[in-house]
Amino acid sequence: MTKKEYLPKESDFPVGTRFLIMEWDVPLSKQTSDDGKTAAYFNWYGGNPSSYSAEHLKIDNNWPADSFSHWLDIVKDSMN
Question: Residue 78 belongs to what H/E stretch?
Answer: helix 68-78
Residue 3 has pLDDT above 50, yes or no: no
> Percent of the chain having pLDDT more than 70?
94
Instruction: Give the residue with greater pLDDT, 38 vs 73.
Output: 73
pLDDT score at 1 = 41
pTM value is 0.87
Query: Tell me, what's the pLDDT at 70?
Result: 97
pLDDT for residue 36: 82
Q: How far is CA 45 from CA 38, 42, 49, 64, 66, in A?
A: 23, 9, 7, 16, 17
pLDDT for res 33: 86
